[in-house]
Amino acid sequence: MTIAVPATTTVARPEQALPRVVGSSLRVPLVTGERVEYANLDHAASAPCLEQVRDAVDEVLPWYASVHRGAGFASQVSTRVYEQARAAVRRFLNARGTDAVVFARNTTDALNLLARSLPRHTAVLLFDTEHHAALLPWRGPNVRRLRTPSSPAQAVLELDRALGAAPVGPRLVVVTGASNVTGEVWPVAELARLARRHGARIALDAAQLAPHRPVDVRALDVDYTVLSGHKVYAPFGAGVLVGRSDWLQAAEPYLVGGGATARVTDHGDRLGVAWSAVPERHEAGTPNVVGVHALAVACDVLGRHWEQTTAHERALLARLREGLKTVPGVHELTLFGSDHDRVGVVSFTVGGQDAGYLAAALSAEHGIGVRDGAFCAHVAVHRLAHGDRALRASIGLGTTEAHVDRFVAALRSLVVEGSRWEYEVRDGRWAPLDDQRALPPFLR
């Protein structure tokens, strides 16, 4: 039977043009009563939706139905959409044909799934600079956290020593592709070669790298890769774990329920359960067809635009970092030094200024969104910022030169001249006094 499936590769603009994001013309209210174009410098937390992704979601929604085993035509279309998404993710990562593609909610969910699937007594080695999603799922006496390295060479040296001292048996190295704190790109290929030499496997947290650079699983020679849709301009609640299937196939399901079961039989005082094979084994419940389709479309769009995307971001990142040098008291956080390769993320402190207060004033008085705090990487931020909280400005496809220049000018004005409004700490966060900014109509 031929099933008409909504396309995932429709291009509405010339191939040379940057993909556009939803909300690029969004205007937000200020406490002063004005409205300005929103400058979103918080892409590292969640990227806006691509217009192609929004259009693809609109296209598939009339066909939405539960996937797998449904006899209805809409269910068969949705099933085809869902399964074709695995191929799109595989292409995006240049994954091996034998790799499992298991859909999850996000990177955190995917890494917890992997952690639950490790063979008993697996030694896990990771650096303490990881995002909490990669830092916290691993438990037990065989988990070894390595201290923050000062250079890629030291990272390789420290891991070499740790692997040499690790217990005999299965071993897993967990590493980030790009730091969500500093944006610095980690030496993944070198660490993978080292892991392979010691007979270990390696898992790559690509959440922060995948929106900015191609991730080639075969070239990097990593065993597992995880990423989130909401980081790659598909904010519809999907993530993915891609990697070798043997550990996943041998493990009990991460969640139990419909879809994870091939057969359930009644034995009186107990139930007999035959689990499904990977990937369904770890995708219990009704899958997020819309989110998975959105992720697949985003992967296809980004995969066709790397040259334009990287050139755009490199230019804006250089402009941002040069601009920050003109702001008194700015100290940029770095692991490997200011000249090290990085994606569009810059975290910094401002001497004598509270990061939360600056973030609140940038939003309330200037319509600029940045992140403040420790970015779900508390160990790394507290070490690099000497116990302080930090500000993070992160760029992406929705960022323009005007956004960067407005941010630098606004930050400089706040640091040199102070804010024009009064602020207080409310529920642990800085907030403007007498904030009369109107919420959008759908929230009123």
* DSSP-assigned letters across all residues of 208-244: TTTTTS---HHHHT-SEEEEEGGGTT--SS-EEEEE-
Query: Which residue is associated with the tokens 């303490």?
Result: 128
Torsion sign across C-alpha atoms 319, 322, 327, 332: positive
C-alpha span between 222 and 300 (Å, rounded): 21
User: Which of 46, 86, 105 has the alpha carbon at shortest distance from 287?
Assistant: 105
Using only the alpha carbons of the chain, give its radius of gyration. 23
Rounded to an integer, what is the distance from CA 314 to the centroid of its chain?
19
Residues 326, 312 contacting (CB under 8 angstroms): no
One of 376, 409, 415, 431 is an active-site residue; which one?
376
Whether residue 279 has a cis bond before it, omega within 30° of 0? yes
Alpha carbon distance 87, 77 (integer Å): 16
Tokens at 293, concatenated: 């389709």
Residue 146 CB: number of other CB atoms within 10 A?
17
Is 49 an annotated catalytic residue?
Answer: no
d(CA 42, CA 344): 10
367: left (phi over 0), alpha (psi -120 to 50) or beta: left
* Backbone angle region of 166, left / alpha / beta, with phi > 0 → left and psi within -120 to 50 → alpha: beta
Residues with catalytic function = 376
